[in-house]
Amino acid sequence: MSTTTDRAQTSATAPPPRHDVVRVTVPRRSFNSELRAIRIVWRRELIRFRADRIRIATSLVQPLLFLFVLGAGLQGLARAGTHGVELKTFIYPGILCIAVMFTAMFSAASIVWDREFGFLREMMVAPVRRSSIVIGKCLGGATVAGFQGVIVICLAGLVHVPYAPLLILGIFGLQLLLAFSITAFGVMIAVRIKQMQSFMGVMQMVVMPMFFISGALFPVSGLPGWLAVLNRLDPLTYAVDPMRRLVFQHLNFSPLARHALDPGVTWWGWHVPGLLEAGVIAALGLVMLGIAIWEFSATE
């Protein structure tokens, strides 16, 4: 079976010299090997994102449309109620959230692609915990979505949100948390879905309502009862609200504007502090990560 002639000759006279085959061994599973698995799954998401420049560009179109077309177009209509605050400044936190959310969901969708194109099997048969794969995926999706968020954060100046270090840091942290939780949510759904079309359908069904109900486009006080209930149940509410508060704290608005546009989320009349809101996002993210791991481990 030799392909080269000189090997064929040697084997005719004497037993062929044993090649110095590089023999590697696969160690038993350990904490370190799991960390390596998490890291490589995470890195794969980054490599894929970098290779997909079109995705980076197109995912910017939507926030730009919302901010500048919707923001500028409705400005005149909204002037009466905004007390001098520009509409695009008001909706900026919500738009940042939706940009992060879409990217996170798309990253999670890669599990469905992986299943369709077979790559998932390569990971499923590896001698690593399924949880490592899920954690790597979620961290990868969070990083990619967080990167998308940073691009939108860079646009802050265009909608008159100042680049104050504390403000930027706060928004950055919140959007990263959101990115992780939404990826976990997406992975939880993606593990159960076999086809990309179905995933896209579910995504439209879930993401748009979450966005509209969250108060990204309107203040959360004085809503009709049913909408107020839905709003408090929507996880995205707890990302938009503290971000908006941060923005408003760094701008000089009249108390009237503050009261009307940044009323804050209340539970039975009690103002939910920003830190608790961040905690809600984190807790939901961890719960969904847990469910995703459990589901993923149960599949044969």
Residues near another protein (CB under 8 A) are 1-3, 16, 19, 21-30, 32-33, 36-37, 39-41, 44, 47-48, 51-52, 114, 117-128, 300
Q: How far is the CB of 280 from another protein (least distance, A)?
A: 34
DSSP calls for 75-141: HHHHHHHHTT--HHHHHHHHHHHHHHHHHHHHHHHHHHHHHHTSHHHHHHTSSS-HHHHHHHHHHHH
Q: How far is the CB of 257 from another protein (least distance, A)?
A: 47
Q: How far is the CB of 44 from another protein (least distance, A)?
A: 6
| Burial tier of 211 (Cβ tally within 10 Å: 0-12, 13-18, 19+) | buried
CB 260 within 8 A of CB 214: no
Q: How far is the CB of 133 from another protein (least distance, A)?
A: 9
**Euclidean distance between CA atoms 295 and 292, whole angstroms:** 5
> What separation, in Å, do the N-terminal and C-terminal C-alpha atoms of the chain show?
38
Q: How far is the CB of 25 from another protein (least distance, A)?
A: 7
Name 215's Cβ contacts closer than 8 Å, sequence gap at least 6. Answer: 94, 231, 237, 240, 241
In the complex with another protein, which residue's Cβ is closer, 119 or 147?
A: 119
In the complex with another protein, which residue's Cβ is closer, 37 or 213?
A: 37
